[in-house]
Amino acid sequence: MTRKLPAKDAVIIGLGWTGSILAEALTRAGLDVVAIERGPWRDTATDFPTTYAPDELRYRVRHDLFLRPAQETMTFRNNSSQTALPIRSWGSFMPPNGVGGGGLHWNAETWRFLPSDFELKTHLTQRYGAKALPEDMTIQDWGVSFDDLEPHYDKFEYLCGTSGKAGNIKGAKQEGGNPFEGARARDYPTPPQKQPYGPTLFAAAAREMGYHPFPQPSGNLSQAYTNPLGVALGPCTYCGFCEWFGCGNYSKASPQTTLLPVLVRRPNFEARTLCEVSRINLDGSGKRATGVTYVDSSGEEWEQPADLVLLCAFQLFNVHLLLISGVGTPYDPNTGQGTIGRNYSYQVTSSINGFWSDKNFNPFVASGAIGYCIDEFNGDNFDHGALGFVGGGYMGAVMTNGRPILGTFLPKDTPNWGAAWKKSLAENYLGAYQFATHGSCYSYRDAYLDLDPTYTDRLGRKLLRINFDFHPNELKMSQYLTDRLGEIVQKMGPRQFDKKPRKGPYTITDYQTTHTCGGAVMGADPKASVVNRYLQSWDVPNLFVTGATSFPQNAGYNPTGTVCALAFWAADALVNQYLKHPGPLVPA
């Protein structure tokens, strides 16, 4: 039997980056807030101290920090001619679990999107004409502009202490920064991280070719920092155990190192961990959320009523909960009608492994967001007129680690095991460097999320089904970007370099990136979006949905900076508009 708890002002589903940001803003505004988190509480000293955090087998290979698929998973197929099957071991992406969410195990690459990314459909149509876009491409404008978000990007960077070099302060170009970035109000709070040898050589080659290399903005801090909430972080030690790991040095920005120490002291904040929200409850009209129902680790079911429901789980689980709870109308790929699940997108990455006999890169000296990048081939920073594709990405020498099990790179003709493998590893470990492109992924009519007709989870709910494949536009883009990157690598004079542009079909088994996006996108048109420009549900105005879930398509950057800027933007709208006049913030 479900037991009903006393009502709260707001219930937050998922205590990762966006849940923590909203909890901080709403508790500061005086609301009584409870966050319900599926996974465990996690704390630096207790759960990933330096004494054992750098354990590649435990965390990278055995996925210690991630959700166990037996608890919740999803099915996958490339297209409607296939039968989707459940994912039983994570591959292409890593669904987070526990307090801190993806913000705990990320690499901390802290980017802003380009101004044109937010007006993508309008911008590309104006520049190239509507016919230049593939017929089944469903990209759209975000309904929010870069200038709207700039103060909120700034808040996130100053919360984290992000280390970087500005390229454009209030319209004035800054030497050494990214000249393509949108105008920012001020520089990063801390200077860039120190750069290892590989990135330094890359930057020199890129500069010689007329490009403008700049240090990747990093949430792994170049120096000690105290944020505006009074929470302090230590300097990064370049150990190269960032992505897949918790940082034992308090030097990677995460909810644990920036927000939670303040939140846990607030008497009007409560977190319930190891509690999985099974559905969002709606009233009889379907237009108002009354709270959530969740199941604790004893299998007991509880109803938590609340005036406000903030859906802050990982992107895929946000969409799953919306579908399960009957919020809005599910998307139908045949008719193009409905919105929930529409415009699922991803990230198109590629790499080049370069090998030198006369260089020692010490690849173990790294951080998750180190290295030099160029942005000449991102977004619409270059003329696509004759190229036959749209989109782009950043590229650079951004190798995040030299870990012994899966962080080593060998020439492509090397066997995967045995004496020849050992010999090659010994010869190449120090002289190999991996370069990467990090490209956009636009949205298409047949890339979507829905409920699986066959498979159910432990609570009897239908699993989420992922319907996704790469489209020719993205594969052409990846080839083009990888070729441009190859020219710079070649200039660096390697003995050998192996280009690996992204190829189709999309596979769910090889790790690429955890940047799954969309499915409950934001926009100005209720027929083509699930949430308005403030991340407020069009259908249920006391429900807000955060995360990359709201991206109408993905840009050529890591999403967390934009995810969190949007969370600050939504928090601002909640506190300064919604709480004063609860109701739709944008007329439908």
Partner 1 sequence: MSGTGRVLSALLALALLGGIALAADSDRLHDETAHNRQNFDETERGRYLATLADCTGCHTKPQGGAFMAGGYPIQTPFGTLISPNITPDIDTGIGAWSDDDFVNAVQRGRARDGAHLYPAMPYTAYSKMPRADVLAIRAYLATLPPVHNAVVSNQLPFPFRIRASMIAWNALFFHDEPFRGDPKKSGEWNRGAYLVAGPAHCGACHNSKNFLGGDTSNGMLRGGVLQGWNVPDLTEDQRTGLAGWSVDDIVAYLKTGHNRISFASGPMAEVIRASTSHWHDDDLHAVAVFLADQPAPEQPSPPAVAKTDPAMTVGQAIYVDECSACHARNGAGAPNMFPALKASPIVQSSDPTTLTRVVLHGTQNVVTAAAPTGPSMPAFGWKLTDRQTAAVLTYIRNAWGNAAPAVDAGQVSKLREAQAGN
Residues involved in catalysis: 515
CB of 222 or CB of 347, closer to partner 1: 222
CB of 179 or CB of 261, closer to partner 1: 261
Q: Do 310 and 19 contact (CB within 8 A), yes or no?
A: yes
CB of 190 or CB of 349, closer to partner 1: 190
Beta bridge partners of 350: 437
Please give the single-letter amino acid code of residue 488.
I
Those residues whose C-beta lies under 8 Å from the C-beta of residue 489, and which sit 6 or more positions away, are 202, 205, 352, 354, 435, 497
Among 191, 491, 238, 488, residue whose Cα is nearest residue 363: 238
Instruction: Check binding of 265 to partner 1 (CB under 8 A).
Output: yes
Segment 410 to 449, residues that bind partner 1, using CB under 8 A: none
CB of 59 to partner 1, least distance (A): 16
- Alpha-carbon gap, residue 34 to 13, rounded angstroms: 9
Burial class (CB in 10 A: 0-12, 13-18, 19+), 352: buried
Beta bridge partners of 380: none
CB of 225 or CB of 346, closer to partner 1: 225
Does the bond joining 95 to the residue before it have cis omega, within 30 degrees of 0? Answer: no
Those residues whose C-beta lies under 8 Å from the C-beta of residue 310, and which sit 6 or more positions away, are 10, 11, 12, 13, 19, 22, 543, 544, 546
Q: How many residues bind partner 1 (CB under 8 A)?
A: 23
Please give the single-letter amino acid code of residue 109.
E
Q: Return the range that interacts with partner 1 (CB under 8 A); candidates 47-55, 199-207, 492-500, 557-565.
A: 47-55
CB of 56 or CB of 276, closer to partner 1: 56
Binding map of partner 1 across residues 195-234, x = CB under 8 A, - = no contact: -----------------------------x-x--xxxxxx
Beta bridge partners of 437: 350, 395
Taking CB under 8 A as the criterion, the residue among 5, 9, 32, 50 binding partner 1 is: 50
Instruction: Check binding of 49 to partner 1 (CB under 8 A).
Output: yes
Q: Return the range that interacts with partner 1 (CB under 8 A); candidates 48-56, 57-65, 318-326, 521-529.
A: 48-56
Farthest-apart Cα atoms in the chain, separation? 71
Tokens of 381: 């920073």
CB of 239 or CB of 574, closer to partner 1: 239
Taking CB under 8 A as the criterion, the residue among 51, 285, 334, 335 binding partner 1 is: 51
CB of 154 to partner 1, least distance (A): 22
Binding map of partner 1 across residues 229-258, x = CB under 8 A, - = no contact: xxxxxxx-x-x--------xxx------x-
Strands 393-397 and 372-374, bridge-based pairing: antiparallel
Those residues whose C-beta lies under 8 Å from the C-beta of residue 419, and which sit 6 or more positions away, are none
CB of 515 to partner 1, least distance (A): 29
Q: Do 374 and 395 contact (CB within 8 A), yes or no?
A: yes
Please give the single-letter amino acid code of residue 87.
I
Number of H helices, E strands in the chain: 12, 24
CB of 261 to partner 1, least distance (A): 4
Taking CB under 8 A as the criterion, the residue among 5, 29, 85, 262 binding partner 1 is: 262
Segment 361 to 400, residues that bind partner 1, using CB under 8 A: none
CB of 223 to partner 1, least distance (A): 8
Evaluate the CA torsion angle 113, 115, 119, 124 in order and state its sign: negative
- Alpha-carbon gap, residue 349 to 35, rounded angstroms: 34
CB of 433 to partner 1, least distance (A): 24
CB of 262 to partner 1, least distance (A): 5
Tokens of 338: 């409905």
161 alpha-carbon distance from chain centroid: 18
Beta bridge partners of 354: 433, 497
How far from 585 is each of 157, 524, 540, 579, 582, CA to CA, in Å? 27, 12, 12, 11, 8
Identify the DSSP state of 66.
B
40 alpha-carbon distance from chain centroid: 21
CB of 44 to partner 1, least distance (A): 7
Q: Quick check: helix, strand or coil at residue 159? A: helix
CB of 482 to partner 1, least distance (A): 35
CB of 260 or CB of 373, closer to partner 1: 260
End-to-end CA distance of the chain: 38
CB of 229 or CB of 586, closer to partner 1: 229
CB of 56 or CB of 119, closer to partner 1: 56
Taking CB under 8 A as the criterion, the residue among 27, 44, 367, 434 binding partner 1 is: 44
CB of 254 to partner 1, least distance (A): 13
CB of 45 or CB of 420, closer to partner 1: 45
Q: Return the range that interacts with partner 1 (CB under 8 A); candidates 58-66, 259-267, 370-378, 436-444.
A: 259-267
Backbone angles phi, psi at 233, to 5 degrees: -120, 155
Among 104, 477, 468, residue whose Cα is nearest residue 319: 468
Positions in the binding site for partner 1 (CB under 8 A): 44-45, 49-51, 224, 226, 229-235, 237, 239, 248-250, 257, 261-262, 265
